[in-house]
Structure 1
Amino acid sequence: MKMHKVLGLMSGTSLDGLDLAYCNIWESNNKWHFSIADTHSVSYDAAMRSKLKNAITLPAEELFVLNNSYGTWLGEQAKAFINQKKMEVDFISSHGHTVHHRPEKGLTYQMGSGQHLANASGHTTICDFRTNDVALGGQGAPLVPIGDRIFFGDYDFCLNLGGISNISFEHNGKRVAYDIGLANMVLNYITQKIDLAYDKDGALAKTGSLNIDLLHRLNALDYYKLPFPKSTGYEWFMEKVVPLVEGTEDSIENLLHTCIHHICEQLAIQVKEHTYKKSTLWVTGGGALNGFLIQTLQEKLGADVQVIKPPPTLIEFKEALVFALMGVLRMERKTNVLCSVTGAKRDSSSGVKFLPH
């Protein structure tokens, strides 16, 4: 039995920080197992958050410079964590930070140079997990469903509430997954208007009231009508969602309240469409820590679907864990991206390996 000791790195679209998960991953009796030995989060300061948020607008030369410096920064954070905890690490597996995601144009770009990361950390690094799938005609997203199937297949649905909401489940014998739509990205955008990083536990949203006009406009967004496989990201949010929020004169509380109802209505539509029995919905990501959102979601789903929250470590570090797994599968030359999820021509073993120098 080979034990893989991997440090998984994840930076999500919600721009709250870098998650690091030190994982032990092994295969036994044709089944993969894991333990999360240690975790750490590094919050982005205002300057870093601004750089990442605005990276999409940078000309190519400046973007490449930031890609390299951010890769070095990632490597420094990894090295500090490894040294502090005196860890034995076989390799680092990094998602990077998505800046451009336009699969319809054959383009996806996760910032965080693998070579710079490897050099700064002193450890072999695997990254760039999306490009190969896009080159094969896929969406390059979502990627986490391989982990849902391998580690969490006992649940009927796996829902992740990050900046964007995405879901995965078995459908006609295949794993399917797609981005449903909005989640924390819009909520954090609203709270930042009052210099608040996020609405803890949905406390502000809970005191608000529905803005029916905004709710109808959000629910009418064309993206929700598209069939899966599909994925979306920051560009869609800026182009289609922000104008609706900015064009609505209302209190912060009412905007948050309305957006949570919108998020949960869209989630419930998708889950109910694929529910034929009493089902379990396993929820991770920062949105799982929003009590008002989870309460609203359960109300809209009704009694036939049970919302299940795992322990806090898995809620917060599941994606870092799954990218650690994807790195292991890449090292083993096994499938880590599913074409049934992304719409690519075939399954692939994706990711690029960088050696430290």
Structure 2
Amino acid sequence: MVYNVIGVTSGSSLDGLDLVFVGLTEVRGKWTYEIKAAERKAYTEDWKEKLSNAANLPARDYFLLHSEYGHYIGQAVNDFIATHGFDHQVHFITTHGHTVFHMPSQKMTAQLGDGAAITAVTGLSVISDLRAMDVALGGKGAPLLPVAEQLLFPNLAYRVNLGENATISAQKDGELVAFDVCPCNYVLDALAETLGRAYDEDGKLAAGGVTDQQLLDALNGLSYYAQPYPKTLTNKFGTTTVLPLIQGHQLSTQGKLNTYTKHIAAQIAKAVNLIGGEGGEVLLTGGGAHNSYLVEAIKASGLKVTQPDEQTLTFRTGLMIALLGTLRWRQETNAFASVTGADRDSVGGALWSN
């Protein structure tokens, strides 16, 4: 079977709305993909402000924004289809939405972007709310993407995404396991911003710094790293725990970047050993995979590293979201209890159709 799907995602960094049109092919349980077009629609300052302040809105205004943002996504999809000439080729849309509340301990998660509004604007079926069922079943609703990664890259022993958090997934004893390793780009970008940079391009700032062993030991000693998996992180951990710890040490920002880069590499190597020990290639994806200094640090930790093509690297999340929606469309499991800690595996996602 072939499914032509548009995956739509928005990250907490608010750099824009990612749209990916992908052809997904399934033959006897084996999946392949072709990214036919992908782009990032940058948010205006107005939309950045709306999304960043959403958590502080009264209930009525929050749901008005939920609808408005759904219509915004729908129009963005229409523009994307028209620009690339994909009329009458798209089977359905999968949207992750923009996460505002994620409180799995209270069995609640909420992403902006009303699926009904997207369907109303585009005339296409939409799958949304991918995390909701897993969270309702007591799961963490995260990591969300390892199920799709396992299907698209089954021959790679470990799959590490260097996003706002670094995540890892792999097969262990015939079961899919995955967890958040440590804060990644969220912390690196915050440090770079103190020098007036949006991010540390190619890790050049970090490369110019010196590792502070005392800080590195303190970071590696944080209690989260001793917890068993499945486990997940929120940006709050980086904001309230990691960054204050780093800023409490008197060294240059470049030294902090250097030390934190070494910390990420050390924790990824530790996670690989925790799951399966030595051997096997590690697939690196996510924005951090563009950071050549970080990639070299991971290699220096003793891991054999490989990376996908540039388009897959850049739009990995939209691609995976498209596949998760396709599994929902087929009524197949797209959330595993072994990954999220839920009471059972589930088929997650709300389906909206005209």
1:210 is matched with 211
Q: 1:215, CA displacement in angstroms?
A: 2.7
Q: 1:29-44 counterparts in 2 under 5 A?
A: 29-44=28-43
1:77 is matched with 76
Cα distance in 1 between the residues matched to 2:298 and 2:45: 32
Cα distance in 1 between the residues matched to 2:57 and 2:223: 28
Secondary structure of 2:37 counterpart: strand
Q: Which moved more, 1:237-246 or 1:345-354?
A: 237-246
Q: Which runs of 4+ in 1 moved over 4 A?
A: none
CA-based RMSD: 2.0
Q: 1:59, CA displacement in angstroms?
A: 4.4
Q: Within the alignment, does 1:151 sit opposite 2:149 as a pair?
A: no
Secondary structure of 2:315 counterpart: helix
Change in Cα spacing, 1:223 to 1:99, as seen in structure 2 (3 Å) is farther
Cα distance in 2 between the residues matched to 1:251 and 1:347: 47
Secondary structure of 2:100 counterpart: strand
Q: Within the alignment, does 1:261 sit opposite 2:262 as a pair?
A: yes
Change in Cα spacing, 1:156 to 1:237, as seen in structure 2 (3 Å) is same
2:321 is matched with 323
Change in Cα spacing, 1:134 to 1:32, as seen in structure 2 (3 Å) is same
Change in Cα spacing, 1:276 to 1:251, as seen in structure 2 (3 Å) is closer
Q: Is the 8 A contact 2:175 2:338 kept in 1?
A: yes
Q: Within the alignment, does 1:126 sit opposite 2:127 as a pair?
A: yes
| Residues 92-121 of structure 1 deviation map (CA, whole Å, 9 limit, x = unaligned) | 101112222221221222222212222333
1:24 is matched with 23
Q: 1:161, CA displacement in angstroms?
A: 0.8
Cα distance in 1 between the residues matched to 2:46 and 2:191: 19
Q: Is the 8 A contact 1:76 1:121 kept in 2?
A: yes
| Residues 145-180 of structure 1 deviation map (CA, whole Å, 9 limit, x = unaligned) | 111221101000011111111110001110011111
1:64 is matched with 63
| Residues 235-280 of structure 1 deviation map (CA, whole Å, 9 limit, x = unaligned) | 3222322333444454332222122111111111111223444210
Q: Which stretches in structure 1 are left out of the alignment for 5+ residues?
A: none
Q: 1:54, CA displacement in angstroms?
A: 4.2
Secondary structure of 1:36 counterpart: strand
Q: Is the 8 A contact 1:174 1:340 kept in 2?
A: yes
Q: Is the 8 A contact 2:107 2:137 kept in 1?
A: no
Secondary structure of 2:256 counterpart: helix
Q: Is the 8 A contact 2:172 2:276 kept in 1?
A: no
Give the % identical residues. Answer: 37
Amino acid corresponding to residue 270 of structure 1 in structure 2: A
Q: 1:73-152 counterparts in 2 under 5 A?
A: 73-87=72-86, 88-152=89-153
Q: Is the 8 A contact 2:9 2:97 kept in 1?
A: yes
Change in Cα spacing, 1:230 to 1:286, as seen in structure 2 (3 Å) is same
Q: How many residues align?
A: 352
Amino acid corresponding to residue 178 of structure 1 in structure 2: F
Change in Cα spacing, 1:62 to 1:186, as seen in structure 2 (3 Å) is farther
Change in Cα spacing, 1:243 to 1:138, as seen in structure 2 (3 Å) is same
State TM-score, norm by structure 2.
0.92
Q: Which stretches in structure 2 are left out of the alignment for 5+ residues?
A: none
Cα distance in 1 between the residues matched to 2:184 and 2:6: 27
Cα distance in 1 between the residues matched to 2:256 and 2:42: 25
Change in Cα spacing, 1:239 to 1:55, as seen in structure 2 (3 Å) is farther
Cα distance in 2 between the residues matched to 1:209 and 1:124: 52
Amino acid corresponding to residue 82 of structure 1 in structure 2: I
Change in Cα spacing, 1:44 to 1:197, as seen in structure 2 (3 Å) is farther
Change in Cα spacing, 1:255 to 1:15, as seen in structure 2 (3 Å) is farther
Q: Is the 8 A contact 1:13 1:164 kept in 2?
A: no
Cα distance in 2 between the residues matched to 1:216 and 1:69: 47
Change in Cα spacing, 1:164 to 1:63, as seen in structure 2 (3 Å) is farther
Q: 1:189, CA displacement in angstroms?
A: 1.5
Q: Is the 8 A contact 2:162 2:184 kept in 1?
A: yes
1:309 is matched with 307
Q: 1:179-328 counterparts in 2 under 5 A?
A: 179-300=180-301, 302=302, 305-328=303-326
Secondary structure of 2:211 counterpart: coil
Amino acid corresponding to residue 189 of structure 1 in structure 2: A
